[in-house]
Amino acid sequence: MSTSPLTTYQRHHLAPTYDHHVGHLYPAMVRASQAHVVMLTEQGLIPAERGARLLRGLAVLRADTTPTPAYDGSFEDTYYLLEKRLAEACGIPTAELDVQLARSRNDLDAGVFRMLLRDQLLGVLDRVLATGRTALDRADRYADVVITGYTHRRPAQPTTIGHALAGYAEALAGEAAAYADVIDQLNVSPLGSCAFAGTDLDIAPARVAELLGFAGLVTNSYEAVAGADHLVRVGTLNA
């Protein structure tokens, strides 16, 4: 633990950023690191014994339910907290972790953001579909209940509650299709792109994608770490 007072930069930037993100990013980074180490071991890029040691340490971190520590200046951000804890769990110095071999925080962050956003949007899609099903059920139940339809704040035509609710259900179906489309767009893995131009090591990005439930890979490594079109689409959809 750091015994020095936090600098202005740490107090006003690093600490708030850490506090806001750590609860989301840390578990996802552990999962992504597990997949990465499996791939490195299978590809022969790290010895099997070292891979097994790292995976045992990552399993300890994944099973640990204690709250993440408050920011104290002894590490820079969530990623360095993961390194610190993993080294302790493995009983080795952080310099010997190998977990960052053929990986950058650029592609790790991009991958973790996609994992988290995918899970959140799947939850939203489930709720949209559930609401649509309820609207259709009520539309059928009240199909014969006549009400007055208004236009320009004036009584206009007779309709039914079922008719109106079916309209809401159709709108929700459109929303569900839009969410499903953006989920497909973001459900591709950027991992393996490293900083932005890949690596000459014989990695298997498709294996990492498979282990993390991605449907495929981002084709261009620069787009993988710098692209944000999927984030813009999510923001627009939720506006």
Taking each helix axis as running N to C, give the angle between helix 48-63 and helix 78-90, from 0 to 180 degrees, rounded to the nearest 10.
120
Which amino acid type is present at position 149? G
Give the pLDDT of residue 4. Answer: 67
* Tokens (6 digits) for 178: 């839009």
Coil, strand or helix at 151: strand
Coil, strand or helix at 25: helix
Q: What number of residues does the chain have?
A: 239
| Euclidean distance between CA atoms 235 and 239, whole angstroms | 6
Instruction: Kindly report the pTM of this predicted structure.
Output: 0.87
Give the pLDDT of residue 128. Answer: 97
| Euclidean distance between CA atoms 207 and 54, whole angstroms | 18
Q: What is the DSSP letter of 91?
A: T
Q: How do the pLDDT tens digits run along the chain, 239 residues long?
A: 555 688 999 999 999 999 988 989 999 999 999 999 999 999 999 999 999 999 999 999 999 988 888 888 888 889 999 999 999 999 999 888 889 899 999 999 999 999 999 999 999 999 999 999 999 999 999 999 999 999 999 999 999 999 999 999 999 999 999 999 999 999 999 999 999 999 999 999 999 999 999 999 999 999 999 998 898 999 888 87
Give the pLDDT of residue 1. Answer: 53
